[in-house]
Amino acid sequence: MMNSTAFLPTTDGGSVRTTPVDAVALEARAAALCTRSIKTTSKRAALHTTIRCIDLTTLEGIDTPGKVASLCQKAIRPDPANPTIPSVAAVCVYPEMVEHAVTSVSGTTVVVASVAGAFPAGMSTPAVRVADIADAVGRGAGEIDIVLNRSAFMSGDLRRAYDEIVAAKEACGTAHLKVILETGELGSYEQVRRASMLAMAAGADFIKTSTGKIPKAATHPMVLNMAEAIRDYADQTGVIVGLKGAGGIRTAKQAWHHLVIVGETLGSDWLTPERFRLGASSLLNDVLMQIQKLDTGHYSGPNYVTVD
């Protein structure tokens, strides 16, 4: 069992150190960053950056090829009436929908991300989960979102949690691996900090807050906490890992405060789709309405954005 400042092994034989986290001060810092006032040119830039960093997501049991095609269209051209609006970074779907998505986004910048590894609980045997990943990659997913083995992590079997991420990374091949910590289940910021370091040390390209399947998800302090972990990891190893917030991000204002938090913690360099993502579905339309407000000077309404 680790203590609060334990060292974790990295895949190259080194180690990284994790730090305790004070919850109240962390939340106070996040709240302070959320008082940043984003106006005029900054607001427009934030809205565009938000769109470019979105993983437009549908993860429902009733997802169909038709739904996925519609989502992909929205991802490529978020506002049909405004060609200056960029495409989102990726669409995020279940493995079974990967081929439909790949077809729909073909020839565009939009990447297909697939959840895999017995998402969202991850409670299948390692072999099944690795096969699930390999299958999704084989069918064209460029990015794979898996969950941390919280069962292993919470029972103290960090080695198993770590090894499984190493195996998942191997199964990904050239696809990018995002490791979902499911922060709402880990009980404390400090555990999340530890899980972040573990996932990065095991080779995650991105660490991601949540599955979106439980209520407590990508809160601002949680994103700050993980951004700080990424900074620590970069400081200690020189390796740059991306951050994805997912779950509960519905408004443009929430999104730009995430940008503020990541930007002020990791630097503006991090505010690109290569290093930062927001997993969301309804967020996109709120961002589009805000852009329409900037363009026209009038408040927009839901009938002026497409429901996909």
Known catalytic residues are 145, 208, 244
| The only residue of 1, 13, 41, 62 in contact with another protein, by rule CB under 8 A | 41
| The only residue of 15, 42, 237, 251 in contact with another protein, by rule CB under 8 A | 42
Tell me how far apart the alpha carbons of residues 248 and 262 are, in angstroms, rounded to a whole number: 17
Q: Which two tokens stand for residue 56?
A: 């437009």
Spatial CA neighbour of 43 closest among 298, 252, 285: 252
- Candidates 42-50, 132-140, 149-157, 211-219; binding stretch for another protein (CB under 8 A): 42-50
- Candidates 24-32, 55-63, 121-129, 194-202; binding stretch for another protein (CB under 8 A): 24-32
Size of interface with another protein, in residues (CB under 8 A): 46
Tell me how far apart the alpha carbons of residues 237 and 220 are, in angstroms, rounded to a whole number: 26
CB atoms within 10 A of CB 36: 15
Can residue 234 be called a binding residue for another protein (CB under 8 A)? Answer: no
For residue 91, the cross-strand partners are 56, 112
* Region 123-162 residues binding another protein, contact defined as CB under 8 A: none
Nearer to another protein, 26 or 165 (CB): 26
Spatial CA neighbour of 158 closest among 121, 129, 195: 195
E strand or H helix at 177: strand 176-180
Can residue 308 be called a binding residue for another protein (CB under 8 A)? Answer: no
* Region 249-268 residues binding another protein, contact defined as CB under 8 A: 256, 259-260, 263-264, 267-268
Can residue 34 be called a binding residue for another protein (CB under 8 A)? Answer: no
From residue 125, alpha-carbon distances to 63, 145, 151, 187, 220 in Å are 25, 17, 12, 24, 33
| The only residue of 8, 16, 93, 111 in contact with another protein, by rule CB under 8 A | 111
Can residue 206 be called a binding residue for another protein (CB under 8 A)? Answer: no
CB of 272 to another protein, least distance (A): 5
Can residue 294 be called a binding residue for another protein (CB under 8 A)? Answer: no
| The only residue of 13, 39, 238, 303 in contact with another protein, by rule CB under 8 A | 39
Nearer to another protein, 187 or 302 (CB): 187
Q: Give the strand pairing for 176-180 and 111-115.
A: unpaired
Can residue 214 be called a binding residue for another protein (CB under 8 A)? Answer: no
Q: Which two tokens stand for residue 286?
A: 């709120």
Tell me how far apart the alpha carbons of residues 297 and 232 are, in angstroms, rounded to a whole number: 42
Can residue 12 be called a binding residue for another protein (CB under 8 A)? Answer: no
The contacts found for 40-45 with CB under 8 angstroms, 24 or more apart, are: 43/256, 43/290, 43/294, 44/291, 44/294
Helix, strand or coil, per DSSP, at residue 88: coil
Nearer to another protein, 54 or 130 (CB): 54
Tell me how far apart the alpha carbons of residues 144 and 203 are, in angstroms, rounded to a whole number: 13
Task: Indicate the DSSP class of residue 145.
Answer: E
Nearer to another protein, 49 or 58 (CB): 49
Q: Any idea how long the chain is?
A: 308
Residues forming contacts to another protein in the complex (CB under 8 A) are: 4-5, 19-27, 29, 35-46, 48-50, 52, 86, 89, 109, 111, 187-188, 228, 256, 259-260, 263-264, 267-268, 271-274
